[in-house]
Structure 1
Amino acid sequence: METLQIDDIKLTWLRGGVNHLDGGAMFGVVPKPLWSKKYPSNENNQIELRTDPILIQWNNQLLLVESGLGIGKFTDKQKRNYGAWEESFIEEDLRQLGFTTSDIDYVLMTHMHFDHACGLTKLEGESYHSVFPNAKIICSQIEWDEMRNPNIRSRNTYWKENWQSIQEQVITFDKEWSMGPVQMIHTGGHSDGHSIIIIEGKEELLIHMADIMPTHAHQNVLWVLAFDDYPMDSISAKQKWMKIGLEKEAWFSFYHDAFYRAVKWNQEGKEIIAEIKRAK
Protein backbone atom coordinates (compact mmCIF):
# COMPACT_ATOMS: atom_id res chain seq x y z
CA MET A 1 0.00 0.00 0.00
CA GLU A 2 1.38 3.39 -1.05
CA THR A 3 1.57 6.15 1.55
CA LEU A 4 2.18 9.89 1.76
CA GLN A 5 3.07 11.81 4.93
CA ILE A 6 2.14 15.48 5.27
CA ASP A 7 3.26 16.69 8.71
CA ASP A 8 1.30 14.52 11.17
CA ILE A 9 -1.20 13.45 8.51
CA LYS A 10 -0.71 10.03 6.93
CA LEU A 11 -2.43 9.02 3.70
CA THR A 12 -2.65 5.38 2.61
CA TRP A 13 -4.22 4.17 -0.64
CA LEU A 14 -6.43 1.09 -0.26
CA ARG A 15 -7.62 -1.28 -2.96
CA GLY A 16 -11.22 -0.46 -3.76
CA GLY A 17 -11.56 -2.26 -7.09
CA VAL A 18 -11.13 -1.42 -10.75
CA ASN A 19 -13.27 -0.69 -13.76
CA HIS A 20 -12.54 0.01 -17.43
CA LEU A 21 -14.47 2.77 -19.18
CA ASP A 22 -14.46 4.09 -22.72
CA GLY A 23 -11.45 6.36 -23.23
CA GLY A 24 -13.38 8.70 -25.47
CA ALA A 25 -16.01 9.23 -22.78
CA MET A 26 -13.35 9.80 -20.15
CA PHE A 27 -11.65 12.51 -22.22
CA GLY A 28 -14.72 14.09 -23.81
CA VAL A 29 -14.00 16.02 -26.99
CA VAL A 30 -10.22 15.47 -26.80
CA PRO A 31 -9.08 13.43 -29.86
CA LYS A 32 -7.71 9.97 -29.12
CA PRO A 33 -4.29 10.69 -30.72
CA LEU A 34 -3.80 13.28 -27.98
CA TRP A 35 -5.13 11.55 -24.85
CA SER A 36 -3.76 8.11 -25.73
CA LYS A 37 -0.21 9.51 -25.54
CA LYS A 38 -0.82 10.22 -21.86
CA TYR A 39 -3.08 7.30 -20.89
CA PRO A 40 -3.18 3.98 -22.78
CA SER A 41 -6.31 2.12 -23.82
CA ASN A 42 -6.98 -1.55 -24.52
CA GLU A 43 -8.26 -3.12 -27.75
CA ASN A 44 -11.82 -2.08 -26.83
CA ASN A 45 -10.78 1.57 -26.39
CA GLN A 46 -11.26 1.22 -22.62
CA ILE A 47 -8.90 2.71 -20.07
CA GLU A 48 -8.10 1.23 -16.67
CA LEU A 49 -9.54 3.23 -13.81
CA ARG A 50 -8.85 2.36 -10.21
CA THR A 51 -11.45 3.05 -7.53
CA ASP A 52 -9.06 3.23 -4.60
CA PRO A 53 -10.08 5.06 -1.42
CA ILE A 54 -7.54 7.05 0.58
CA LEU A 55 -7.27 6.40 4.33
CA ILE A 56 -6.36 9.56 6.25
CA GLN A 57 -4.91 9.12 9.72
CA TRP A 58 -4.82 12.29 11.79
CA ASN A 59 -5.14 13.07 15.50
CA ASN A 60 -6.40 9.55 16.30
CA GLN A 61 -9.11 9.96 13.68
CA LEU A 62 -9.60 7.70 10.65
CA LEU A 63 -11.10 9.35 7.59
CA LEU A 64 -11.76 7.50 4.34
CA VAL A 65 -12.00 9.33 1.01
CA GLU A 66 -14.62 7.47 -1.08
CA SER A 67 -15.63 3.84 -0.57
CA GLY A 68 -14.64 1.80 -3.65
CA LEU A 69 -16.75 -0.62 -5.69
CA GLY A 70 -17.78 -2.78 -2.76
CA ILE A 71 -18.41 -6.52 -2.99
CA GLY A 72 -21.20 -8.28 -4.84
CA LYS A 73 -22.84 -5.13 -6.15
CA PHE A 74 -22.51 -5.84 -9.89
CA THR A 75 -24.42 -8.23 -12.11
CA ASP A 76 -22.49 -10.12 -14.77
CA LYS A 77 -23.84 -7.68 -17.37
CA GLN A 78 -22.65 -4.68 -15.34
CA LYS A 79 -19.24 -6.26 -14.87
CA ARG A 80 -18.94 -6.58 -18.65
CA ASN A 81 -20.27 -3.10 -19.39
CA TYR A 82 -18.10 -1.36 -16.80
CA GLY A 83 -15.11 -3.66 -17.06
CA ALA A 84 -15.36 -4.17 -13.30
CA TRP A 85 -13.11 -7.17 -13.00
CA GLU A 86 -11.82 -6.54 -9.48
CA GLU A 87 -13.91 -5.86 -6.40
CA SER A 88 -12.90 -4.20 -3.13
CA PHE A 89 -10.15 -5.35 -0.80
CA ILE A 90 -10.71 -2.52 1.68
CA GLU A 91 -11.50 -4.81 4.61
CA GLU A 92 -8.34 -6.84 4.03
CA ASP A 93 -6.19 -3.73 3.64
CA LEU A 94 -7.59 -2.17 6.80
CA ARG A 95 -6.98 -5.41 8.68
CA GLN A 96 -3.37 -5.38 7.51
CA LEU A 97 -3.05 -1.88 8.97
CA GLY A 98 -4.57 -3.02 12.26
CA PHE A 99 -8.05 -1.57 11.72
CA THR A 100 -11.55 -2.71 10.84
CA THR A 101 -14.35 -0.99 8.96
CA SER A 102 -15.95 -0.24 12.35
CA ASP A 103 -12.93 1.94 13.23
CA ILE A 104 -13.59 4.46 10.45
CA ASP A 105 -14.76 7.78 11.93
CA TYR A 106 -15.61 9.65 8.72
CA VAL A 107 -16.21 8.74 5.08
CA LEU A 108 -15.72 11.75 2.83
CA MET A 109 -17.75 11.39 -0.36
CA THR A 110 -16.77 13.83 -3.10
CA HIS A 111 -19.92 12.64 -4.87
CA MET A 112 -22.17 9.59 -4.80
CA HIS A 113 -21.84 7.97 -8.23
CA PHE A 114 -21.86 4.19 -7.99
CA ASP A 115 -18.11 3.80 -8.58
CA HIS A 116 -17.52 5.93 -5.48
CA ALA A 117 -20.46 4.84 -3.31
CA CYS A 118 -20.95 1.10 -3.87
CA GLY A 119 -18.57 0.35 -1.00
CA LEU A 120 -20.78 2.13 1.53
CA THR A 121 -23.18 -0.80 1.89
CA LYS A 122 -23.13 -4.58 1.64
CA LEU A 123 -25.78 -7.24 1.30
CA GLU A 124 -26.38 -9.33 4.42
CA GLY A 125 -29.16 -11.83 3.96
CA GLU A 126 -31.86 -10.04 2.00
CA SER A 127 -31.07 -6.45 2.99
CA TYR A 128 -28.24 -3.96 2.73
CA HIS A 129 -26.28 -2.75 5.75
CA SER A 130 -23.64 -0.13 6.37
CA VAL A 131 -20.03 -1.20 5.79
CA PHE A 132 -18.81 1.59 8.12
CA PRO A 133 -21.39 1.47 10.92
CA ASN A 134 -19.70 3.99 13.22
CA ALA A 135 -18.74 6.55 10.59
CA LYS A 136 -20.21 9.92 9.78
CA ILE A 137 -20.66 10.05 5.99
CA ILE A 138 -20.00 13.54 4.63
CA CYS A 139 -21.22 14.90 1.29
CA SER A 140 -22.72 18.10 -0.07
CA GLN A 141 -26.44 18.70 0.41
CA ILE A 142 -26.90 19.07 -3.35
CA GLU A 143 -25.31 15.67 -3.96
CA TRP A 144 -27.34 13.98 -1.25
CA ASP A 145 -30.57 15.42 -2.64
CA GLU A 146 -29.81 14.18 -6.15
CA MET A 147 -28.68 10.80 -4.84
CA ARG A 148 -32.16 10.22 -3.46
CA ASN A 149 -34.04 11.88 -6.33
CA PRO A 150 -32.00 11.39 -9.51
CA ASN A 151 -33.04 12.83 -12.83
CA ILE A 152 -33.41 10.96 -16.11
CA ARG A 153 -29.68 11.36 -16.85
CA SER A 154 -28.30 10.52 -13.42
CA ARG A 155 -30.57 7.71 -12.28
CA ASN A 156 -28.26 5.03 -13.71
CA THR A 157 -25.40 6.16 -11.47
CA TYR A 158 -27.25 6.89 -8.21
CA TRP A 159 -28.34 3.55 -6.79
CA LYS A 160 -30.80 3.21 -3.93
CA GLU A 161 -28.80 0.22 -2.64
CA ASN A 162 -25.99 2.64 -1.88
CA TRP A 163 -27.91 5.10 0.30
CA GLN A 164 -31.06 3.66 1.84
CA SER A 165 -29.32 1.85 4.69
CA ILE A 166 -26.84 4.62 5.56
CA GLN A 167 -29.06 7.71 5.55
CA GLU A 168 -28.93 8.09 9.34
CA GLN A 169 -25.14 8.40 9.11
CA VAL A 170 -25.08 11.14 6.48
CA ILE A 171 -24.05 14.70 7.36
CA THR A 172 -24.37 17.28 4.59
CA PHE A 173 -22.88 20.71 4.01
CA ASP A 174 -23.65 23.59 1.66
CA LYS A 175 -20.35 25.16 0.59
CA GLU A 176 -17.61 23.78 2.87
CA TRP A 177 -16.96 21.23 5.59
CA SER A 178 -13.77 20.93 7.59
CA MET A 179 -12.11 19.04 10.41
CA GLY A 180 -8.61 20.09 11.36
CA PRO A 181 -6.41 20.16 8.26
CA VAL A 182 -9.01 18.42 6.06
CA GLN A 183 -11.52 20.47 4.11
CA MET A 184 -14.24 19.60 1.62
CA ILE A 185 -15.30 22.30 -0.86
CA HIS A 186 -18.33 22.11 -3.15
CA THR A 187 -17.39 22.71 -6.80
CA GLY A 188 -20.12 21.20 -8.95
CA GLY A 189 -19.05 20.21 -12.45
CA HIS A 190 -18.85 16.45 -12.71
CA SER A 191 -22.12 16.35 -10.81
CA ASP A 192 -24.09 19.28 -9.43
CA GLY A 193 -23.04 18.34 -5.90
CA HIS A 194 -19.42 17.36 -6.61
CA SER A 195 -16.79 18.41 -4.07
CA ILE A 196 -13.01 18.40 -3.80
CA ILE A 197 -10.82 17.75 -0.75
CA ILE A 198 -7.98 19.94 0.50
CA ILE A 199 -5.42 18.79 3.06
CA GLU A 200 -3.20 21.57 4.34
CA GLY A 201 -0.13 20.92 6.44
CA LYS A 202 2.26 23.50 7.82
CA GLU A 203 4.47 23.41 4.75
CA GLU A 204 2.69 21.20 2.22
CA LEU A 205 -0.68 21.23 0.50
CA LEU A 206 -2.60 18.35 -1.10
CA ILE A 207 -5.51 18.84 -3.49
CA HIS A 208 -7.80 15.93 -4.30
CA MET A 209 -9.95 17.06 -7.23
CA ALA A 210 -11.84 13.78 -7.49
CA ASP A 211 -13.61 13.43 -10.83
CA ILE A 212 -12.88 16.88 -12.21
CA MET A 213 -9.30 15.55 -12.48
CA PRO A 214 -9.64 11.77 -12.14
CA THR A 215 -6.15 10.95 -13.45
CA HIS A 216 -2.85 12.75 -14.00
CA ALA A 217 -3.67 12.79 -17.74
CA HIS A 218 -6.59 15.15 -17.06
CA GLN A 219 -4.29 17.96 -15.92
CA ASN A 220 -5.23 20.21 -18.86
CA VAL A 221 -8.13 22.33 -17.62
CA LEU A 222 -10.03 21.73 -20.88
CA TRP A 223 -9.77 17.93 -20.69
CA VAL A 224 -13.06 17.12 -18.98
CA LEU A 225 -15.24 14.05 -19.06
CA ALA A 226 -18.20 13.44 -21.36
CA PHE A 227 -19.82 12.17 -18.15
CA ASP A 228 -19.67 15.66 -16.60
CA ASP A 229 -23.13 17.13 -16.07
CA TYR A 230 -21.78 20.70 -16.02
CA PRO A 231 -18.48 20.71 -17.94
CA MET A 232 -17.96 24.48 -17.79
CA ASP A 233 -18.15 24.30 -13.99
CA SER A 234 -15.52 21.54 -14.09
CA ILE A 235 -13.28 23.74 -16.22
CA SER A 236 -13.76 26.73 -13.93
CA ALA A 237 -12.95 24.71 -10.80
CA LYS A 238 -9.89 23.17 -12.44
CA GLN A 239 -8.63 26.57 -13.49
CA LYS A 240 -8.94 27.89 -9.94
CA TRP A 241 -7.42 24.96 -8.10
CA MET A 242 -4.71 24.14 -10.63
CA LYS A 243 -3.51 27.75 -10.32
CA ILE A 244 -3.45 27.55 -6.53
CA GLY A 245 -1.84 24.13 -6.52
CA LEU A 246 0.86 24.89 -9.06
CA GLU A 247 1.82 28.13 -7.33
CA LYS A 248 2.23 26.27 -4.03
CA GLU A 249 3.79 23.13 -5.56
CA ALA A 250 0.93 21.11 -4.05
CA TRP A 251 0.44 17.39 -4.26
CA PHE A 252 -2.45 16.37 -6.51
CA SER A 253 -3.93 13.01 -5.50
CA PHE A 254 -6.12 10.58 -7.45
CA TYR A 255 -8.87 8.03 -6.85
CA HIS A 256 -9.03 6.65 -10.40
CA ASP A 257 -5.46 6.80 -11.72
CA ALA A 258 -4.00 3.39 -12.58
CA PHE A 259 -0.42 4.71 -12.64
CA TYR A 260 0.00 7.47 -10.06
CA ARG A 261 -1.34 7.91 -6.53
CA ALA A 262 -0.20 11.52 -6.35
CA VAL A 263 2.05 13.90 -8.25
CA LYS A 264 3.56 17.37 -7.97
CA TRP A 265 4.05 19.49 -11.07
CA ASN A 266 6.40 22.42 -11.40
CA GLN A 267 4.87 25.90 -11.29
CA GLU A 268 4.43 25.93 -15.07
CA GLY A 269 2.61 22.60 -14.94
CA LYS A 270 4.95 21.19 -17.57
CA GLU A 271 6.96 18.69 -15.57
CA ILE A 272 6.30 16.20 -12.77
CA ILE A 273 8.78 17.03 -10.00
CA ALA A 274 7.60 14.48 -7.41
CA GLU A 275 5.48 11.35 -7.70
CA ILE A 276 4.03 8.38 -5.87
CA LYS A 277 3.52 5.59 -8.37
CA ARG A 278 1.00 2.83 -7.89
CA ALA A 279 2.64 -0.53 -7.34
CA LYS A 280 1.26 -3.02 -9.85
Structure 2
Amino acid sequence: METMQIGRAKLTWLNGGVNFLDGGAMFGVVPKPLWGKKYPYNDKNQIELRTDPILLQIDGKNYVIETGMGNGKLTEKQLRNFGVLEESSIEQSLEELGLSTDDIDALLMTHLHFDHACGITKPAGEGYETVFRNAVIYVSQVEWDEMRNPNIRSANTYWEMNWQPVQHQVQPFEQELTVIDGLKMIHTGGHSDGHSILLFEDGDETWIHMADIMPTHAHQNKLWALAYDDYPVTSVHQKEKWMDFGYQKQAWYTFYHDAYYRAIKFDESGKKIDELKRERYDY
Protein backbone atom coordinates (compact mmCIF):
# COMPACT_ATOMS: atom_id res chain seq x y z
CA MET A 1 0.00 0.00 0.00
CA GLU A 2 1.34 3.39 -1.01
CA THR A 3 1.61 5.98 1.76
CA MET A 4 2.59 9.63 1.93
CA GLN A 5 2.80 12.34 4.59
CA ILE A 6 1.65 15.86 3.72
CA GLY A 7 1.85 18.17 6.71
CA ARG A 8 -0.14 16.60 9.55
CA ALA A 9 -1.96 14.31 7.15
CA LYS A 10 -0.94 10.72 6.48
CA LEU A 11 -2.56 9.18 3.40
CA THR A 12 -2.63 5.45 2.67
CA TRP A 13 -4.30 3.95 -0.41
CA LEU A 14 -6.46 0.91 0.32
CA ASN A 15 -7.49 -1.79 -2.15
CA GLY A 16 -10.94 -0.85 -3.41
CA GLY A 17 -11.04 -2.80 -6.69
CA VAL A 18 -10.41 -2.21 -10.36
CA ASN A 19 -12.57 -1.89 -13.46
CA PHE A 20 -12.13 -1.12 -17.14
CA LEU A 21 -14.31 1.53 -18.81
CA ASP A 22 -14.56 2.87 -22.34
CA GLY A 23 -11.84 5.45 -22.91
CA GLY A 24 -14.12 7.57 -25.05
CA ALA A 25 -16.64 7.84 -22.22
CA MET A 26 -13.91 8.78 -19.76
CA PHE A 27 -12.58 11.55 -22.02
CA GLY A 28 -15.85 12.79 -23.54
CA VAL A 29 -15.44 14.79 -26.74
CA VAL A 30 -11.63 14.57 -26.67
CA PRO A 31 -10.41 12.61 -29.75
CA LYS A 32 -8.67 9.32 -29.05
CA PRO A 33 -5.43 10.42 -30.82
CA LEU A 34 -5.10 13.02 -28.05
CA TRP A 35 -6.20 11.14 -24.90
CA GLY A 36 -4.52 7.96 -26.13
CA LYS A 37 -1.13 9.68 -25.77
CA LYS A 38 -1.85 10.41 -22.12
CA TYR A 39 -3.39 7.17 -20.82
CA PRO A 40 -2.93 3.55 -21.97
CA TYR A 41 -5.84 1.62 -23.47
CA ASN A 42 -6.48 -1.98 -24.47
CA ASP A 43 -7.69 -3.54 -27.73
CA LYS A 44 -11.29 -2.72 -26.74
CA ASN A 45 -10.41 0.95 -26.21
CA GLN A 46 -10.96 0.46 -22.47
CA ILE A 47 -8.80 2.10 -19.81
CA GLU A 48 -7.87 0.68 -16.43
CA LEU A 49 -9.36 2.53 -13.48
CA ARG A 50 -8.80 1.89 -9.78
CA THR A 51 -11.46 2.53 -7.15
CA ASP A 52 -9.08 2.79 -4.20
CA PRO A 53 -10.21 4.60 -1.05
CA ILE A 54 -7.69 6.72 0.85
CA LEU A 55 -7.21 6.20 4.58
CA LEU A 56 -6.58 9.69 5.94
CA GLN A 57 -5.09 9.97 9.42
CA ILE A 58 -4.96 13.39 11.08
CA ASP A 59 -4.62 14.33 14.76
CA GLY A 60 -5.50 10.83 15.96
CA LYS A 61 -8.60 10.56 13.75
CA ASN A 62 -9.15 7.97 11.00
CA TYR A 63 -11.05 9.06 7.91
CA VAL A 64 -11.75 7.17 4.68
CA ILE A 65 -12.15 9.06 1.39
CA GLU A 66 -14.57 7.16 -0.88
CA THR A 67 -15.35 3.47 -0.24
CA GLY A 68 -14.51 1.43 -3.33
CA MET A 69 -16.44 -0.97 -5.53
CA GLY A 70 -17.79 -3.03 -2.66
CA ASN A 71 -17.86 -6.80 -2.48
CA GLY A 72 -20.56 -9.28 -3.40
CA LYS A 73 -23.02 -6.58 -4.45
CA LEU A 74 -22.78 -6.46 -8.23
CA THR A 75 -24.62 -8.90 -10.51
CA GLU A 76 -22.76 -10.91 -13.13
CA LYS A 77 -24.14 -8.54 -15.76
CA GLN A 78 -22.92 -5.48 -13.85
CA LEU A 79 -19.50 -7.02 -13.31
CA ARG A 80 -19.25 -7.61 -17.04
CA ASN A 81 -20.66 -4.26 -18.17
CA PHE A 82 -18.53 -2.25 -15.75
CA GLY A 83 -15.42 -4.27 -16.55
CA VAL A 84 -14.85 -5.21 -12.90
CA LEU A 85 -11.89 -7.57 -12.58
CA GLU A 86 -11.38 -7.12 -8.85
CA GLU A 87 -13.76 -6.12 -6.07
CA SER A 88 -12.87 -4.34 -2.84
CA SER A 89 -10.78 -5.75 -0.03
CA ILE A 90 -10.81 -2.71 2.25
CA GLU A 91 -11.24 -4.72 5.44
CA GLN A 92 -8.13 -6.73 4.62
CA SER A 93 -6.20 -3.53 3.81
CA LEU A 94 -7.19 -2.00 7.14
CA GLU A 95 -6.30 -5.22 8.97
CA GLU A 96 -2.78 -5.05 7.53
CA LEU A 97 -2.53 -1.58 9.08
CA GLY A 98 -3.74 -2.81 12.47
CA LEU A 99 -7.18 -1.26 12.04
CA SER A 100 -10.75 -2.38 11.41
CA THR A 101 -13.77 -0.69 9.88
CA ASP A 102 -14.94 0.06 13.44
CA ASP A 103 -11.90 2.33 13.86
CA ILE A 104 -13.02 4.73 11.13
CA ASP A 105 -14.37 8.01 12.52
CA ALA A 106 -15.87 9.37 9.30
CA LEU A 107 -16.36 8.69 5.60
CA LEU A 108 -15.63 11.64 3.32
CA MET A 109 -17.78 11.06 0.25
CA THR A 110 -17.15 13.37 -2.71
CA HIS A 111 -20.29 11.92 -4.30
CA LEU A 112 -22.34 8.74 -4.18
CA HIS A 113 -22.08 7.08 -7.60
CA PHE A 114 -21.95 3.30 -7.22
CA ASP A 115 -18.20 3.05 -7.89
CA HIS A 116 -17.57 5.34 -4.91
CA ALA A 117 -20.40 4.27 -2.59
CA CYS A 118 -20.77 0.49 -2.94
CA GLY A 119 -18.29 -0.01 -0.12
CA ILE A 120 -20.52 1.82 2.37
CA THR A 121 -22.74 -1.23 2.85
CA LYS A 122 -22.43 -5.00 2.52
CA PRO A 123 -24.82 -7.94 2.09
CA ALA A 124 -26.38 -9.18 5.34
CA GLY A 125 -29.06 -11.85 5.33
CA GLU A 126 -31.58 -10.85 2.68
CA GLY A 127 -30.64 -7.17 2.85
CA TYR A 128 -27.66 -4.91 3.52
CA GLU A 129 -25.96 -3.37 6.52
CA THR A 130 -23.43 -0.63 7.22
CA VAL A 131 -19.74 -1.47 6.92
CA PHE A 132 -18.35 1.41 9.00
CA ARG A 133 -20.54 1.19 12.10
CA ASN A 134 -18.98 4.06 14.04
CA ALA A 135 -18.42 6.49 11.19
CA VAL A 136 -20.20 9.72 10.40
CA ILE A 137 -20.80 9.99 6.64
CA TYR A 138 -20.18 13.45 5.21
CA VAL A 139 -21.61 14.33 1.79
CA SER A 140 -23.14 17.45 0.27
CA GLN A 141 -26.85 18.02 0.83
CA VAL A 142 -27.43 18.22 -2.92
CA GLU A 143 -25.83 14.82 -3.46
CA TRP A 144 -27.69 13.25 -0.55
CA ASP A 145 -31.01 14.54 -1.86
CA GLU A 146 -30.40 13.17 -5.35
CA MET A 147 -29.14 9.87 -3.98
CA ARG A 148 -32.55 9.28 -2.38
CA ASN A 149 -34.56 10.78 -5.26
CA PRO A 150 -32.61 10.14 -8.47
CA ASN A 151 -33.73 11.37 -11.86
CA ILE A 152 -34.14 9.22 -14.96
CA ARG A 153 -30.40 9.45 -15.72
CA SER A 154 -28.91 9.20 -12.24
CA ALA A 155 -31.11 6.27 -11.19
CA ASN A 156 -28.54 4.04 -12.92
CA THR A 157 -25.86 4.94 -10.37
CA TYR A 158 -27.68 5.96 -7.16
CA TRP A 159 -28.75 2.69 -5.57
CA GLU A 160 -30.98 2.25 -2.53
CA MET A 161 -28.77 -0.50 -1.11
CA ASN A 162 -25.96 2.04 -0.80
CA TRP A 163 -27.91 4.58 1.27
CA GLN A 164 -30.93 3.06 2.98
CA PRO A 165 -29.00 1.11 5.68
CA VAL A 166 -26.78 4.10 6.60
CA GLN A 167 -29.12 7.09 6.48
CA HIS A 168 -28.85 7.51 10.28
CA GLN A 169 -25.09 8.03 9.89
CA VAL A 170 -25.25 10.72 7.19
CA GLN A 171 -24.54 14.35 8.08
CA PRO A 172 -25.03 16.43 4.92
CA PHE A 173 -23.47 19.86 4.50
CA GLU A 174 -24.39 22.80 2.30
CA GLN A 175 -21.58 24.60 0.44
CA GLU A 176 -18.57 23.90 2.66
CA LEU A 177 -17.66 21.79 5.67
CA THR A 178 -14.59 22.02 7.92
CA VAL A 179 -14.00 18.40 8.91
CA ILE A 180 -10.98 19.14 11.11
CA ASP A 181 -8.51 22.01 11.31
CA GLY A 182 -7.09 22.50 7.80
CA LEU A 183 -9.39 19.99 6.07
CA LYS A 184 -12.47 21.09 4.12
CA MET A 185 -15.06 19.49 1.89
CA ILE A 186 -16.24 21.93 -0.78
CA HIS A 187 -19.30 21.48 -2.99
CA THR A 188 -18.42 21.99 -6.67
CA GLY A 189 -21.10 20.28 -8.75
CA GLY A 190 -20.02 19.26 -12.25
CA HIS A 191 -19.54 15.53 -12.39
CA SER A 192 -22.76 15.25 -10.41
CA ASP A 193 -24.88 18.09 -9.12
CA GLY A 194 -23.73 17.36 -5.58
CA HIS A 195 -20.07 16.56 -6.31
CA SER A 196 -17.49 17.85 -3.81
CA ILE A 197 -13.71 18.06 -3.53
CA LEU A 198 -11.41 17.92 -0.51
CA LEU A 199 -8.87 20.60 0.34
CA PHE A 200 -6.17 20.26 3.02
CA GLU A 201 -3.84 23.10 3.98
CA ASP A 202 -1.23 22.88 6.72
CA GLY A 203 1.29 25.70 6.60
CA ASP A 204 3.06 25.46 3.23
CA GLU A 205 1.72 21.96 2.60
CA THR A 206 -1.44 21.52 0.51
CA TRP A 207 -3.24 18.64 -1.13
CA ILE A 208 -6.44 18.61 -3.14
CA HIS A 209 -8.62 15.59 -3.88
CA MET A 210 -10.46 16.54 -7.07
CA ALA A 211 -12.36 13.24 -7.23
CA ASP A 212 -14.11 12.84 -10.61
CA ILE A 213 -13.50 16.38 -11.81
CA MET A 214 -9.94 15.12 -12.44
CA PRO A 215 -10.16 11.33 -12.03
CA THR A 216 -6.72 10.57 -13.51
CA HIS A 217 -3.48 12.39 -14.27
CA ALA A 218 -4.50 12.39 -17.94
CA HIS A 219 -7.43 14.69 -17.13
CA GLN A 220 -5.19 17.59 -16.11
CA ASN A 221 -6.27 19.61 -19.15
CA LYS A 222 -8.96 21.97 -17.89
CA LEU A 223 -11.18 21.35 -20.93
CA TRP A 224 -11.15 17.55 -20.74
CA ALA A 225 -14.44 16.56 -19.13
CA LEU A 226 -16.05 13.12 -18.88
CA ALA A 227 -19.03 11.99 -20.93
CA TYR A 228 -20.28 10.78 -17.55
CA ASP A 229 -20.41 14.37 -16.23
CA ASP A 230 -23.94 15.60 -15.66
CA TYR A 231 -22.79 19.22 -15.92
CA PRO A 232 -19.56 19.24 -17.98
CA VAL A 233 -19.32 23.03 -18.29
CA THR A 234 -19.42 23.29 -14.50
CA SER A 235 -16.70 20.64 -14.32
CA VAL A 236 -14.50 22.69 -16.64
CA HIS A 237 -14.94 25.90 -14.66
CA GLN A 238 -14.39 24.17 -11.31
CA LYS A 239 -11.32 22.37 -12.59
CA GLU A 240 -9.92 25.66 -13.87
CA LYS A 241 -10.53 27.29 -10.49
CA TRP A 242 -8.96 24.56 -8.39
CA MET A 243 -6.07 23.82 -10.72
CA ASP A 244 -5.10 27.50 -10.74
CA PHE A 245 -5.41 27.55 -6.94
CA GLY A 246 -3.33 24.40 -6.53
CA TYR A 247 -0.65 25.44 -9.00
CA GLN A 248 0.03 28.60 -7.01
CA LYS A 249 0.31 26.51 -3.84
CA GLN A 250 2.39 23.80 -5.52
CA ALA A 251 -0.24 21.44 -4.13
CA TRP A 252 -0.38 17.67 -4.34
CA TYR A 253 -3.36 16.27 -6.27
CA THR A 254 -4.53 12.86 -5.08
CA PHE A 255 -6.34 10.25 -7.17
CA TYR A 256 -8.98 7.62 -6.51
CA HIS A 257 -9.31 6.23 -10.05
CA ASP A 258 -5.80 6.55 -11.51
CA ALA A 259 -4.18 3.17 -12.20
CA TYR A 260 -0.68 4.67 -12.54
CA TYR A 261 -0.33 7.54 -10.06
CA ARG A 262 -1.52 8.00 -6.48
CA ALA A 263 -0.62 11.68 -6.35
CA ILE A 264 1.14 14.35 -8.40
CA LYS A 265 2.51 17.76 -7.47
CA PHE A 266 2.55 20.57 -10.04
CA ASP A 267 4.42 23.88 -10.10
CA GLU A 268 2.94 27.31 -10.88
CA SER A 269 2.92 26.59 -14.62
CA GLY A 270 1.24 23.18 -14.26
CA LYS A 271 4.44 21.20 -14.82
CA LYS A 272 4.80 17.99 -12.82
CA ILE A 273 7.51 18.40 -10.15
CA ASP A 274 6.89 15.35 -7.94
CA GLU A 275 4.88 12.14 -8.01
CA LEU A 276 3.84 9.04 -6.11
CA LYS A 277 3.40 6.14 -8.49
CA ARG A 278 1.16 3.16 -7.86
CA GLU A 279 2.86 -0.22 -7.62
CA ARG A 280 1.41 -2.16 -10.53
CA TYR A 281 0.86 -5.82 -11.21
CA ASP A 282 -0.79 -7.79 -14.01
CA TYR A 283 -4.37 -9.02 -13.69
TM interval, shorter chain, is: over 0.9
Task: Provide the rounded CA distance (Å) in 2 between the counterparts of 1:132 and 1:73.
Answer: 16
The match for 2:261 is 260
SS of residue matched to 1:166:
helix
1:220 lines up with 2:221 in the alignment: yes
The match for 1:141 is 141
- Could you list the runs of 4 or more consecutive aligned residues of structure 1 that deviate by over 3 angstroms after TM superposition? none
Task: Provide the rounded CA distance (Å) in 1 between the counterparts of 2:274 and 2:28.
Answer: 28
Task: Provide the rounded CA distance (Å) in 2 between the counterparts of 1:8 and 1:187.
Answer: 25
1:107 lines up with 2:107 in the alignment: yes
SS of residue matched to 2:155:
coil
Task: Provide the rounded CA distance (Å) in 1 between the counterparts of 2:254 and 2:208.
Answer: 6
Percent identity, aligned pairs only, is 63
Task: Provide the rounded CA distance (Å) in 1 between the counterparts of 2:70 and 2:7.
Answer: 31
Structure 2: segments with no counterpart, 5+ residues: none
1:68 lines up with 2:75 in the alignment: no
Matches within 5 A, 1:74-113: 74-113=74-113
Matches within 5 A, 1:1-280: 1-178=1-178, 179-269=180-270, 271-280=271-280
Task: Provide the rounded CA distance (Å) in 2 between the counterparts of 1:174 and 1:272.
Answer: 33
Task: Provide the rounded CA distance (Å) in 2 between the counterparts of 1:124 and 1:155.
Answer: 23
By how many angstroms is 1:7 displaced?
2.0
For residues 205-255 of structure 1, the C-alpha deviation after alignment (integer angstroms, 9 at most, x for no partner) is: 001100000000000000000000001110110010000101111001100
By how many angstroms is 1:8 displaced?
2.2
Task: Provide the rounded CA distance (Å) in 2 between the counterparts of 1:9 and 1:276.
Answer: 15
SS of residue matched to 1:223:
coil
For residues 23-82 of structure 1, the C-alpha deviation after alignment (integer angstroms, 9 at most, x for no partner) is: 000000000000010101111111001000011111110010000011001111111100
Structure 1: segments with no counterpart, 5+ residues: none
- State the number of aligned residues: 279
Task: Provide the rounded CA distance (Å) in 2 between the counterparts of 1:164 and 1:45.
Answer: 36
SS of residue matched to 1:177:
strand
SS of residue matched to 1:85:
strand
By how many angstroms is 1:150 displaced?
0.3
Alpha-carbon RMSD: 0.7
By how many angstroms is 1:268 displaced?
1.1
TM-score, normalized by length of structure 2? Answer: 0.97
SS of residue matched to 2:85:
coil
